[in-house]
């Protein structure tokens, strides 16, 4: 399932919280959700992809580099 908008991610999070509360009879705090969001470093991943592509362009044309 693809997530195209942040609103659909919020809806999925609400559904998960409701299901978890129904099954375990304990609530998930909103703070727990913010901890989950901090795990994704998209800016770092984008920079790494750009650097790997840039390095790849230089090594592709040199046969002995590999």
pLDDT digits (tens), the chain, 66 positions: 566 666 777 888 888 888 988 988 888 776 655 555 555 577 888 899 999 888 887 777 676 665
State whether the Cα torsion 49-52-57-58 is positive or negative. positive
Nearest Cα neighbor of 10 from 26, 44, 34 is 34
* Strand boundaries in 1-66, DSSP class E: none
Q: Supply the pLDDT for residue 12.
A: 84
Contact 9, 3 (CB under 8 A): yes
């Amino acid at each position: 399932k693809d997530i195209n908008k942040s609103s659909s991610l919020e809806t999925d999070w609400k559904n998960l919280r409701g299901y978890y509360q129904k099954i375990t009879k304990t609530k998930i705090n909103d703070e727990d959700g913010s901890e989950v969001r901090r795990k994704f470093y998209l800016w770092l991943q984008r920079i790494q992809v750009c650097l790997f592509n840039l390095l790849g362009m230089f090594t592709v044309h040199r046969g002995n580099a590999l």
